[in-house]
Amino acid sequence: MPKKRKLEPIPKDIQIAQFVRGDSQPLLVASKDIEKIIVGYSAKTAANDRSRKVGPRYFIRGGRPYYLVQDLIEHFTRNPVETFDKEI
Protein backbone atom coordinates (compact mmCIF):
# COMPACT_ATOMS: atom_id res chain seq x y z
CA MET A 1 0.00 0.00 0.00
CA PRO A 2 1.52 3.38 -0.99
CA LYS A 3 2.29 5.96 1.66
CA LYS A 4 -0.15 8.80 2.01
CA ARG A 5 1.47 12.18 1.62
CA LYS A 6 0.71 14.92 4.07
CA LEU A 7 -0.78 18.04 2.54
CA GLU A 8 1.63 20.91 2.57
CA PRO A 9 0.35 24.25 3.81
CA ILE A 10 -0.30 26.98 1.27
CA PRO A 11 2.57 29.51 1.29
CA LYS A 12 1.77 32.61 3.33
CA ASP A 13 2.90 35.10 0.66
CA ILE A 14 0.25 34.14 -1.92
CA GLN A 15 -2.04 36.92 -3.12
CA ILE A 16 -4.88 36.72 -5.63
CA ALA A 17 -4.79 39.36 -8.37
CA GLN A 18 -7.53 41.94 -8.10
CA PHE A 19 -9.35 42.83 -11.32
CA VAL A 20 -10.60 46.38 -11.83
CA ARG A 21 -14.27 46.76 -12.68
CA GLY A 22 -14.56 46.94 -16.44
CA ASP A 23 -11.49 44.77 -17.03
CA SER A 24 -12.25 41.38 -18.45
CA GLN A 25 -11.20 38.49 -16.24
CA PRO A 26 -9.69 35.59 -18.17
CA LEU A 27 -11.45 32.23 -18.02
CA LEU A 28 -8.30 30.13 -18.42
CA VAL A 29 -4.67 30.75 -17.61
CA ALA A 30 -1.69 28.80 -18.90
CA SER A 31 0.52 27.27 -16.25
CA LYS A 32 3.45 29.45 -17.34
CA ASP A 33 1.34 32.57 -16.62
CA ILE A 34 -0.16 31.39 -13.33
CA GLU A 35 1.80 33.89 -11.24
CA LYS A 36 -0.05 36.73 -12.97
CA ILE A 37 -3.25 35.47 -11.32
CA ILE A 38 -1.95 34.04 -8.02
CA VAL A 39 1.01 36.15 -6.91
CA GLY A 40 3.52 33.96 -5.07
CA TYR A 41 2.40 30.68 -6.71
CA SER A 42 4.96 30.01 -9.43
CA ALA A 43 4.73 27.83 -12.53
CA LYS A 44 7.34 25.54 -10.97
CA THR A 45 5.26 25.08 -7.81
CA ALA A 46 2.21 24.37 -9.98
CA ALA A 47 4.23 21.74 -11.89
CA ASN A 48 5.32 20.13 -8.62
CA ASP A 49 1.71 20.09 -7.39
CA ARG A 50 0.54 18.49 -10.64
CA SER A 51 3.18 15.75 -10.40
CA ARG A 52 2.09 14.98 -6.81
CA LYS A 53 -1.63 15.07 -7.78
CA VAL A 54 -2.41 17.93 -5.38
CA GLY A 55 -3.36 21.54 -5.95
CA PRO A 56 -6.01 23.09 -8.16
CA ARG A 57 -7.74 21.20 -10.97
CA TYR A 58 -6.15 21.64 -14.41
CA PHE A 59 -6.68 20.67 -18.04
CA ILE A 60 -4.17 19.54 -20.67
CA ARG A 61 -4.51 20.96 -24.19
CA GLY A 62 -1.78 20.46 -26.75
CA GLY A 63 0.51 19.07 -24.04
CA ARG A 64 0.26 22.25 -21.96
CA PRO A 65 -1.56 22.58 -18.63
CA TYR A 66 -4.26 25.22 -18.21
CA TYR A 67 -6.23 26.28 -15.14
CA LEU A 68 -9.68 27.80 -14.85
CA VAL A 69 -9.27 31.10 -13.00
CA GLN A 70 -12.34 30.31 -10.90
CA ASP A 71 -10.77 26.98 -9.84
CA LEU A 72 -7.61 28.81 -8.74
CA ILE A 73 -9.58 31.31 -6.68
CA GLU A 74 -11.66 28.54 -5.08
CA HIS A 75 -8.58 26.46 -4.30
CA PHE A 76 -6.70 29.29 -2.58
CA THR A 77 -9.70 30.63 -0.66
CA ARG A 78 -11.10 27.25 0.42
CA ASN A 79 -10.03 27.27 4.09
CA PRO A 80 -9.88 30.80 5.46
CA VAL A 81 -8.47 31.37 8.91
CA GLU A 82 -10.89 33.32 11.05
CA THR A 83 -9.29 36.02 13.17
CA PHE A 84 -10.69 38.27 15.85
CA ASP A 85 -9.87 41.93 16.14
CA LYS A 86 -9.54 42.97 19.73
CA GLU A 87 -9.25 46.52 20.91
CA ILE A 88 -6.69 47.13 23.60
- For the chain, 88 residues long, give each residue's pLDDT as a single digit of tens: 666 666 666 667 767 667 667 666 778 999 999 998 888 899 999 999 999 999 999 999 999 999 999 999 899 988 888 888 766 5
Count of structural domains within the chain:
1
How high is the pLDDT of residue 86?
A: 67
How high is the pLDDT of residue 56?
A: 93
User: How far is the CA of 8 from the CAs of 5, 20, 48, 62, in angstroms?
Assistant: 9, 32, 12, 30
Structural domain boundaries, residue 71: 15-76
Q: Is residue 1 part of a domain?
A: no
Q: Is residue 84 part of a domain?
A: no
Q: Is residue 86 part of a domain?
A: no
Q: Is residue 44 part of a domain?
A: yes
Q: Is residue 9 part of a domain?
A: no
Q: Is residue 36 part of a domain?
A: yes
N residues, the chain: 88
CA pair distance 44, 41, nearest whole angstrom? 8
State the burial class of residue 56 (Cβ atoms within 10 Å of its Cβ: 0-12, 13-18, 19+): buried
Q: Is residue 57 part of a domain?
A: yes
CA pair distance 50, 78, nearest whole angstrom? 18
Q: Is residue 4 part of a domain?
A: no
How high is the pLDDT of residue 12?
A: 72
